[in-house]
Amino acid sequence: MSEWYQQETSEVAASLETDPRQGLSSAEAKRRLEKVGPNELVERGTKGVLQIFWEQITEVLVLLLIASAGVSFALGEIPDAIAILAIVVLNAVLGVSQEYRAEQAIAALKQLAVPSIRVRRDGTVKEISVRLLVPGDVVLLETGNFVPADGRLVELANLRVEEAALTGESEPVDKTTGVLSQADLAVGDRLNMVFMGTTVAYGRGVAVITETGMQTELGNIAEMLQAVEREPTPLQRRLDRLGKTLAMAALAIIAFVVIFGVFRGDSPRVLFLTAISLAVAAVPEGLPAVVTITLALGSQRMLKRNALIRKLPAVETLGSVTVICSDKTGTLTENRMTVTVLDVANERLSIETAVNQSSAIVDAELKLDAAPPRRSLGLMLKAMALCNDAVLTGDADGGEQRTIGDPTEGALVVAAAQVGLDKSRLESDWPRVAEVPFTSERKRMTTIHRANQSISHDEPPWGVAPYVAFSKGAVDSLLEITTHVWNGTRGVPLDEDDMRQRILDANTQKAQSGQRVLGVAFRPVAELPADHDGLAALESDMIFVGVIGMLDPPRPEVKDAVRKARQAGIRPVMITGDHPLTARHIARELGISDGEDYLTGLDLNRLSLAELKERAAEIDVYARVSPEHKLNIVEALQDRGQIAAMTGDGVNDAPALKKADIGVAMGITGTDVSKEAADMVLLDDNFATIVAAIEEGRTIFDNIRKFIKFILSSNVGELLVMFIGPFLGMPLPLVPLQILWINLVTDGLPGLALAVEPAERGLMTRAPFSPKESIFSRGLGRQVLWIGSLVGLSSLGAGYVFWARGDETDVWRTVIFTTLTLAQLGNALATRSNVDSFFSIWRTNLLAIGSVVLTFGLQLLVIYVPFLQRTFETTALDSEHLLVALGASTIVFIAIELNKWRRRAAGVGSA
């Protein structure tokens, strides 16, 4: 319905049969969900099985094979034609299986990346997946949220929405709840509406959902833009170029084989089929598909370790990370903030003492003249609960309660509830009428409430007022806007009796012990300002009440993760908005830093980028830092050649997350904007999960390198057999179908099994790979050449002995065919580890063992089953020929294992 903006909020609620104060019932929401479907944009660009199959059989080389089958049919070679087509189909089925599994894995990861939203249902606030939203739902929006669907605003406080994604308007739009009477307004002019895909830039609001999914304005656009093309990852593009380069190199060998065969009088049909078969064997067509599924399966393994990969290239980059820039709260610490100390009116009370005295505190009223010290405590606790967006849910009478919202704010609400001040009752008595939301630059938030009695103070500029403003935030931030401090009976100037210094000393003392410290201030308000600038002006001439000490203990597993990261050549760096002394205390406790050096936001403001680049190499702790500073830190590290992972959870963290090589968003406390900008989301907000993800990323990259080593060395072996054989005077060592069979069997199951190898021993004790390193770095190119040469020479040598002895062609050719296949199986088994012996790790990947056993069985069928003998031009090998083939094929396995033994003896780690 396009006229929602022309209706009163009551009319909208009536049309949608909902109550903005209660929301829908769970039963009604379920019924509507079944009717309208999930709130998501339908992606029509994903490939189905038939489309993937069609793409597989329309590749150039596969079309050549099909043409070869047609030629065979025309020449009356029906068995050859059927065999070629069967191999084409088998190869396509394998490719479809790999790509479809990758598509499904990526789709599953996308579903898990769906954000959650706070809604009112059954009269309470709940957190649900945005996919479950239906028309009539009442959603609560706050700074940093993505708007999950189109909705009509019914409440707001200083709400500004960034709508550039929808309208192209770069400036955030100020929203209203009033009716807009003009018809046919453009989307950007519907100021009382919010739209899916936009972002809350400031303030908060409540909206009734009017349209979901493809019925939204964004859905209408998506309907016109459904030609979705998935971009290959950088590694896939690099490997694709590698494949083309190998194809060019192979063409020279193929041309020689064909030209030499023509001079020798070989059949043109056989030479034609051989050339095509060699082309298929030389080019590792399966490489991009195997890379995709390796990355996708690796992403699923990371998910089990609470790391959600949003962008597949991140998996590649993870293995190269050299520095992790991490927030402190919730990532290095437990994010289990607990109020421990309340410091008011020169009196310091533990939270336990406050709970014991709760009756006296609850009875105290907010009267600012002649109030006893206990009333100061009551004043601060009220401020803690009211200047707060967290919600306490559950049964207060013995049932399980939990907080929804920021963990720090949740701790304040819990502390107030422990003393007997229930937030919902306080909000009823002291309703919020305006606010100045928290920003990372100000490091504070302010809310204005209608008082349940007149607030008065006998000194200007306050006077008698019907409203009160509460502020909470960093102590140094509050001291910038306060002129007095509450001593229990009245406001005392900050410069009297060294009151400012006392507050700073209390702040420092708590920070040195690792506590997070917040301050609370207030002021009476005579009249509500009419605009945002007037509200912001209220943050002046305030009265400081006291400080709150909160303890957020370090996560016990992080210390070990930090040590593990350092062993892996990765430097952890703490970046926090907390007090420098708190940051330094936690950094020492976790082993991030043992020095005294740190930089604050003020220091960063004074440093040029060139100076910061110099300091970035030695600074491990940044404190009182705003998100804007994170961008400078990332750039400084990258300019020094570092590969940086950066964590973030706020709206302003998005630029740094995008700039970083790996942007890491917080899954629990992170805003939707930060999650959208990130490459990876931590589902548990835990630093140890980042290190675990890096280990998994290194494992994946290792396995891709192992597959490349295996596939290319096998292809080199096949090409050498076909290239050298004619030089020795032999007929073509292999017929086309045999080459195709080797390519299908050995590049298929055994190669794919390498993708799921577990982590290599010593993986996290070696230097990270640089993204600038060649795929053939650290000796991989040399290994491909010598292993490939050994595969080819041992196979050709086994057949040459019997050819020179005068055995029949079918016999010595079958020996070469069998030796080459089995040598590649030995290559696959030995390549599973770069260092450890196969015999010490054989149980760790039973899929690899199973694939080799299955392939060995299939090879025996090709040799000994009569109709397969006729198809593949093989013959049953007697014991002598079979033993020679088996013996020659083990040379590759033994040579690789001896090389690994030499590396172990020399103390060389994995690479």
Q: Where are the beta strands (DSSP E) in 679-827?
A: 680-682
The amino acid present at 622, given as its one-letter code, is Y
User: β-strand 491-493 against 571-575: which pairing, if any?
Assistant: unpaired
Q: What are the backbone dihedrals phi and psi of residue 260, each rounded to the nearest 5 degrees, phi first?
A: -65, -40
Q: CA-CA distances (angstroms) from residue 162 to 41, 159, 195, 578, 858?
A: 20, 10, 10, 28, 61
**Cβ atoms of 580 and 586 closer than 8 Å:** no
Q: Which of 80, 137, 150, 327 is catalytic?
A: 327
**Cβ atoms of 477 and 442 closer than 8 Å:** yes
N-to-C CA span, the chain: 61
Work out whether the CA dihedral 285, 287, 292, 294 comes out positive or negative. Answer: positive
- Write out the two tokens for 231: 């971009």
The DSSP-derived string for 119-187 is EEETTEEEEEEGGG--TT-EEEEETTPBP-SEEEEEEEEEEEEE-HHHH---SPEEP--S----SS--G
Largest Cα separation within the chain, whole Å, is: 118
DSSP 24: B
User: β-strand 323-326 against 571-575: which pairing, if any?
Assistant: parallel
The set of long-range contacts for 434-437, using a CB threshold of 8 Å and a minimum separation of 24, is: 434/157, 434/158, 434/528, 434/529, 434/535, 435/157, 435/158, 435/203, 435/204, 435/535, 436/158, 436/532, 436/535, 436/536, 436/538, 436/539, 437/142, 437/143, 437/157, 437/158, 437/202, 437/203, 437/204
505 catalytic, yes or no?
A: no
Rounded Cα distance between 360 and 342, Å, is: 16
Q: At 828, which helix (H) or strand (E)?
A: helix 809-830
The amino acid present at 782, given as its one-letter code, is R
The string over 656-679, giving b where at least 16 C-beta atoms fall within 10 Å of a residue's C-beta and e elsewhere, is bbbbbbbbbbbbebbbbbbbbbbb
The DSSP-derived string for 682-716 is ETT--HHHHHHHHHHHHHHHHHHHHHHHHHHHHHH
Rounded Cα distance between 308 and 405, Å, is: 21
Give the residue numbers marked as catalytic. 327
